[in-house]
Chains A and B, each alone.
Chain A
C-alpha cells in the first residue's frame, strides 16, 4: 500500500466507522431476536398468544405513565451498577461486589441524611448525601482494589465475600439499632428529597422515577469522558487490555486497579440514592437485591460502553417491569427466564454474529482486493502461552471488547 492517498485513507475511516456501528448494534439485536423466539415458545407452552403477551408487556411498560416511570426508576439503579461493572472490566477487573457497594452507598446516605437537622438546605443535604453514597460504595470497592494491588488477591473472590460481609453487617446494624419497629428499614429522612420526575412531567405520573435518573445519565456521560478523553482513562484501558504494556508505559498498574475499584464502588454506591433519596426516603434491608448482579449482565449486554450500559439498563428494566404487567397471562417468573435468555444469547450470539459480519466483509473486500501490507496475527506473542489460538480473522476490533479471559 505504497500509494495510499488521503482519499483512500478517508474512505477507510468511513468504512471502519460503518464496521464499528455494525459490530456494536447488530450482535445485541440478534441476541434479542433469539430471546424473543425463546420467549414465544415459553408463552405458547403456557397456552397464551405471544402477540398478546408482548402487547401487554409493552403497554404495561412504555405504554403508560406509571409503567414507563417504573422502567425509568429501575433503569436508574441498573445504570449505576452496570457502569460500575463496566468500568471495572475496562481495567481488567471483574467487580462482582456491586450488590454490596450499592447497599452500602444507600445506607451511608441514609445515615448521613438522618443525622442532618431538618433545617438543612435541600441542595446541601442532597450534595452531602451524594458524597456519602459515593463514599459508602467507594470504601467497599476500595478494599478488593487495594488487596489486589498490594497482595494480588483476586478481586472476584474478595468482592463476592464482601457481599456477604457487608450485607450481613448492614442488616445487623439496621435490625439491632436503627430500624423502625415492625419494619426492616430506618426512620424517614427529613432532608434533601430528590424530586420525583412526576413532579416535572406528567409522563411519569405515579411512578417512583426521580431525578436520580438524570444523575445516572450524567455519570454515564462522565464515565465516557473519563474513559476516552482523559489520561487516567487512557491508562485504565491500557491496563485492562495489556497490563504489561501499561507498566512499560509508566503506568502503575496496581494504583490503577485500586483507583478503578474505588471509582467502580463509588458509582454503584451512588445508585443507592435512587431508592433512599428519590423514592422511599429511608434505607431498607434488601432494597436493591439483585441489581448488583444484574449490573454484570447490563455491562455485558452494553459491551462495557457507557452508552451501551444505559440502553441495556433500559432493556432489563423493561423486562423486569414487564414481568409484572403480564403476570395475569403468564407467571412473572417467565420474564426472569427471558432475562436470563437475553444474557445467554448475548454471550453466545455476539462472537458468532461478529464472525459472520467479518465473513461477509471479507467477501465484499474480495472485489475491492485491496493490498494492505501484512497483517501479523495480533494475538500476543507471549512465549508458552496457554491456549494460544490464532484467530482466523480478528477484523477491525470493536471498541467495546468483552473480555473473554481473566488475567
Chain B
C-alpha cells in the first residue's frame, strides 16, 4: 500500500472575514499511514481538515483525494456528502450526536435499515455490534447517547464515521477529552485501522502523541505548512520549535519531554516554586481553606454522581483530581460552586482571616463573593457569553460590583477593568470591544483566567484549565496557577490531562465512580500508579 498518495492539498487559502485561517497550506498524506497534523491553536489545522472533509470550500488552492484506492482526483470544493461517499470522514472536536437516541440509532442516522415501513433496529444493533468487535471500539449499541461519557461519545463518533465507510479518517484533537488508558485504547484502534489499509489524519498539538502514534508529521504555523517529516527523524524539540517558530522555553520542553517519557516529570519551573511554597508552608500552619465533608450528589440513573466525598484543600496547596471524565468531577465542581444542589454534605470556604464558613445553602454569587473563584471546564458553555465583548465577559459573575446603586453599569470602570486585565494577562488582540467569539481558544481561556484570577479570591476551582489551548498559553496558565498557590491560595485542579495534574499538584487524588479512590502526595504519584485507579481496576475502596 505504501508509496501511493491518499490526499494531496496544495496552496489552500481559506478566509473568514478578516481572519485568514489558511494562507497557502500544503498537505500530502500517503495511503495506509497515520499522519499527524500539528501546530498551535489557531495555526489553521482544523480549517484545513474541514476543507478536506467538504465542510468549507477553499478560497484558493486544490484538494486531491485518491478515491477507492485509485489515482488522485481533483475534488476541490466538494460537499460533505461527496466526501462521505468517497470515504473521507471527520471526527470533530465537538460531537455531533443526537443525545436522545441510542448509539445504534445515531450510527444509522441518514442510512436507516428498514423492514417494511419500520426501522429494523435489531439488525442495526447487530451490525453495530459487529463493527465494534472488529474495530475494538467498545460501546453498547443500545445505550442512550446522553448516558455516555465523553470518551464513549467519541468512540461513537469514530464508529459513525467508519460505519459510513470511511477509508480516510480525520480526527480533530481526539485525546483532548480522554484519560491515559482511553488514549492507549484509541491508539490501538487507530493502528488496527491503519493495518486494515485505512489512512488516519490526526490533528493535535500534543507532541508526545505525535511521536508515539504517527509515521509522518506535517507542521502548520499561522495558516501555512512549515514542515513535513518522518516521525523517526524528529524530536519533540524540533517539532515544538517548528510549531512555535522560535526556540521554546524549558518549561514547555519539560512538558513535552515529561509526556514523551510518560513519567509525568515535574516541569522545570516547578523547582523554584516548590522552594517558595515550602518556605510558606513552614512559616504557617496548613490552614484548610476549602473543606468538603461527606458530599453526595444524587443521580437519576447511577447510584450517586458524587458519593460521600470528603477532602480539604489548604492554603498554598494544589489538590489535583485526576480521573476519566464522567466519574463525578463535573458534579463535584458544580456542587462546590453552587451550580448544582448537593443531596447531603457540607461545603465550607475560609475567609481572609482563615475562619471557615459553611456555604452549602448559599447561591453562586454569595459563594463567589466569599472568595471562591471558578474556571469552568467548558468556556463556550459556561465560562463566556460568546456574543459579549471581551470587556463584558471580564466582569461576568462580578457585574454587581460594577454597578451603581441604581443598577447602572459603570462603563468607565468596566473599560478600565478590561484594559488592565488585557494587559496583565496578555489577551490578544488587545481590543476590549471585540466579541469574545472572535478570539482564539487560548485567548478566550485567558479571558476566563484573567477574570477569575485577577480578582480577590481564597479558593480557586480550576477545571480543565488548559483544554484546547496552545502550548504557549498552557505554559502561561500553569505559571499563573503556581503563582497563585505560592501566594497562599487553595487550588482545586480538575483535569483529564494526567500530565497536567502531576506537573502541578501537591496532592493527587483519583475520582472513579463518584468517589475518591486514592490520594497520594504529588511527589509520589506517577502515571503507572494512578492509571489503574482511573479505570477502576483497583476497585472502589476509598
Interface presence of A229 (CB below 8 A): yes
A248 near B18 with CB under 8 A, answer no
- Interfacial chain A residues near B374, Cβ < 8 Å: 248
Interface presence of B42 (CB below 8 A): yes
With known contacts A361-B17, A381-B93, A388-B96, A245–B437 Cβ distance under 8 A: no
**Interface size, B (range):** 35 or more
B42 near A374 with CB under 8 A, answer yes
Interface presence of A235 (CB below 8 A): yes
With known contacts A249-B397, A250-B365, A383-B153, A390–B50 Cβ distance under 8 A: yes
User: Interface size (A, Cβ < 8 Å)?
Assistant: 58
Chain A contacts with B in 217-238, Cβ cutoff 8 A:
229-232, 234-235, 237-238
B368 near A375 with CB under 8 A, answer no
B428 near A373 with CB under 8 A, answer yes
Interface presence of A384 (CB below 8 A): yes
With known contacts A361-B17, A380-B381, A393-B16, A234–B386 Cβ distance under 8 A: no
- Interfacial chain B residues near A13, Cβ < 8 Å: 431, 433
Interface presence of A4 (CB below 8 A): yes
A231 near B431 with CB under 8 A, answer no
B94 near A385 with CB under 8 A, answer yes
- Which of A229, A245, A386, A393 makes the CB contact (< 8 A) with B381? A245
Q: Which residue of A lies closest to B42 (CB)?
A: A374
- Which of B15, B98, B434 makes the CB contact (< 8 A) with A366? B15
Produce 1/0 per residue, B433-466, CB < 8 A to A: 1111111111110000000000000000000000
Chain A contacts with B in 146-170, Cβ cutoff 8 A:
none
- Interfacial chain B residues near A365, Cβ < 8 Å: 15, 17-18
Task: Give CA–CA (A378, B59) in the complex, Å.
Answer: 21
- Interfacial chain A residues near B320, Cβ < 8 Å: none
- Which of A16, A237, A249, A384 makes the CB contact (< 8 A) with B99? A384
**Least CB distance, A108 to chain B, in whole angstroms:** 27
Stretch at the interface among B274-282, B403-411, B506-514: B403-411
Q: How many A-B residue pairs have C-beta atoms within 8 angstroms? Tell me.
A: 201
Chain A contacts with B in 235-281, Cβ cutoff 8 A:
235, 237-238, 241-242, 244-250, 252
A2 near B428 with CB under 8 A, answer yes
A4 near B363 with CB under 8 A, answer no
A248 near B438 with CB under 8 A, answer no
B16 near A242 with CB under 8 A, answer no
**Least CB distance, B243 to chain A, in whole angstroms:** 13
With known contacts A392-B56, A393-B17, A397-B387, A384–B145 Cβ distance under 8 A: yes
A370 near B18 with CB under 8 A, answer yes
Interface presence of A405 (CB below 8 A): no
B397 near A248 with CB under 8 A, answer yes
With known contacts A9-B430, A234-B399, A241–B388 Cβ distance under 8 A: yes
**Least CB distance, B266 to chain A, in whole angstroms:** 30
Residue among A232, A235, A242, A361 with max Cβ neighbours from chain B (10 Å): A242
- Interfacial chain A residues near B59, Cβ < 8 Å: 362, 366
B16 near A378 with CB under 8 A, answer no
Task: Give CA–CA (A242, B376) in the complex, Å.
Answer: 14
A371 near B222 with CB under 8 A, answer yes
- Which of A234, A250, A397 makes the CB contact (< 8 A) with B409? A234
**Least CB distance, B476 to chain A, in whole angstroms:** 15
- Which of B15, B43, B392 makes the CB contact (< 8 A) with A362? B15
Task: Give CA–CA (A250, B362) in the complex, Å.
Answer: 11
B407 near A245 with CB under 8 A, answer no
B145 near A374 with CB under 8 A, answer no
Task: Give CA–CA (A245, B17) in the complex, Å.
Answer: 27
Task: Give CA–CA (A385, B382) in the complex, Å.
Answer: 15
With known contacts A248-B396, A375-B21, A385–B429 Cβ distance under 8 A: no
Task: Give CA–CA (A345, B399) in the complex, Å.
Answer: 38
B364 near A250 with CB under 8 A, answer yes
Task: Give CA–CA (A248, B363) in the complex, Å.
Answer: 10
Interface presence of A369 (CB below 8 A): yes
Chain B contacts with A in 349-404, Cβ cutoff 8 A:
363-365, 368, 374, 376, 378, 380-388, 392, 396-397, 399-400, 402-403
Task: Give CA–CA (A201, B388) in the complex, Å.
Answer: 44
B150 near A383 with CB under 8 A, answer yes
Interface presence of B339 (CB below 8 A): yes
- Interfacial chain B residues near A9, Cβ < 8 Å: 429-431
A252 near B363 with CB under 8 A, answer yes
Interface presence of B83 (CB below 8 A): no
27 pairs from A and B in contact (CB 8 Å cutoff): A4-B429, A12-B429, A237-B385, A238-B388, A238-B396, A241-B386, A245-B383, A245-B384, A245-B385, A248-B397, A250-B364, A250-B365, A250-B400, A362-B17, A371-B23, A371-B222, A373-B443, A376-B439, A380-B381, A381-B381, A384-B98, A384-B99, A386-B98, A388-B96, A392-B16, A395-B17, A396-B438
* Further pairs besides A380-B381, A384-B97: 16, Cβ < 8 Å: A230-B403, A231-B403, A245-B396, A371-B19, A372-B20, A373-B19, A374-B21, A374-B42, A375-B439, A376-B468, A380-B380, A381-B94, A381-B378, A386-B98, A394-B437, A396-B438
